[in-house]
Amino acid sequence: MDIAAFCEKNGIECFEREPLCAHTSFKVGGEADFFLKTPSRAAPRLIRFLNEEKIPFFLLGKGTNTVARDEGFRGAVVNIIPEEPRLCGDGVGIECPAGASLRALALFAFDNSLTGLEFAHGIPGSVGGAVYMNAGAYGGSISDVLFSSVFCDGEGNIKEIAADAHDFGYRKSFFSENPGLTVLSSVFKLQKGDRAEIEKKMSELSEKRRATQPLSYPSAGSVFKRPEGHFAGKLIEDCGLKGFTRGGAQVSEKHAGFIVNAGGATFADIAAVIKHVQKTVYDRFGVTLEPEIKILGGGNF
């Protein structure tokens, strides 16, 4: 059975020669052979099929921490479609499918007067991606509120693990260390809170983002992980690299920890800026900057 026939049989949308620039926040990247939009319930069958047919695939959430190569991806890009969260755990838990956005999850918590996810309101990623990399901001992180996750392995077997088995660290988890596994849903344990206070905190964090981050340009957020004892953005700024440009890629003049698509950027442009920043910071401070963003399909910058 070919991919198109399998997808039609299982309620999965299949697009051929799909431009990845339309599915990543950097707005760069060539075509994927196949772009597959699947409900979470069909994802285990799809993963098993792709592995059995030896078709390379890449699991993509909102594409906000990912950059695609100019040549695209030879294989299938799998996207789990957004589905609605629901209350559980005596009304203080939320079960959320992996394809939902973090913003949707945070707003659902707010609507139900649950506190603990305010930090996630402005993070532009999917729940599955956030669990994968232990996303966080402004003193909060997914590891603070996660209770359990359901995932499937490469053979389509569905399993569940508790919070302590996620092996969370800074921008890492059990899933980032085992990329053959696919998060299907997660449960978050929160606390009852005051709705007005939750809204106030979310608004304050949103305003802080608007004031400090280059949100008017396509980007993938903070490019580099925080090096021990330092802040990547300050190191880059201290090297005088704000505004450094190669092609259409530029170190943001607003926040040096961001690289933005200032217009017509390619993967090659972004990679050139990353390498120049890494070399300059290392030559001056002896600090190695490790990229936080992932390359669709793997590999290094």
Contact call for residues 79 and 60 (beta carbons, < 8 A)? yes
* Choice among 18, 31, 118, 292 that is catalytic: 292
CA distance 128 to 186: 8
* DSSP β-bridge partners for residue 186: 96, 149
Q: Is 173 a catalytic residue?
A: no
* Choice among 141, 186, 222, 252 that is catalytic: 222
The angle subtended at Cα 170 by Cα 165 and Cα 172, nearest 5°, is 50
CA distance 280 to 179: 31
CA distances from 299 to 61, 83, 269 (A): 18, 31, 16
Q: Is 171 a catalytic residue?
A: yes
* Choice among 171, 176, 186, 219 that is catalytic: 171
Q: How many CA atoms lie within 13 A of 206 on its CB side?
A: 13
Contact call for residues 29 and 60 (beta carbons, < 8 A)? no
Q: Is 222 a catalytic residue?
A: yes
Q: Both tokens of residue 108?
A: 């659902």
Report, as residue numbers or ranges, the catalytic residues.
171, 222, 292
